Amino acid sequence: MSDMPTNHFEPTMSDEEALMWRIGADPWLDPSGSLLALLDRPVDLDLLRRKVAAGIPSMPRLVERVVDTARPFEALRWEIDPDFDLTNHVLEVAVPAPGDRRA
């Protein structure tokens, strides 16, 4: 992204954030999420990405990554991801025709 937002959050993870990050190392407890949307018409993916990109300045943590030193007593921290690419996060996956719930 060319216009990276300014971070107004603490660069060090909170205890709760760090706990969830560490839990995510276990594949059985991975707290990561995703969204599956069943739509009744095609989506303009470029428009959707533009709208998501327009919202990023209000939530700059969305373009940050975790820096983990793997030292047990050193705090995890956030930093702006200079390689952030929204197309890696907003994806389109289509089902085969007829595209109903049975597909």
Domain ranges of the chain: 15-88
Provide, rounded to the nearest whole percent, the portion of the chain with pLDDT above 70: 81
**Is the pTM of the predicted complex or chain greater than 0.75?**
no
The CA-based dihedral angle spanning residues 35, 36, 42, 47, taken in that order and rounded to the nearest 10 degrees:
10
**What does the pLDDT look like over 13-55, one tens digit per residue?**
788 887 777 777 777 776 666 777 777 888 899 999 999 999 9
Q: Is the pLDDT of residue 58 over 80?
A: yes
The per-residue pLDDT for 96 is: 80
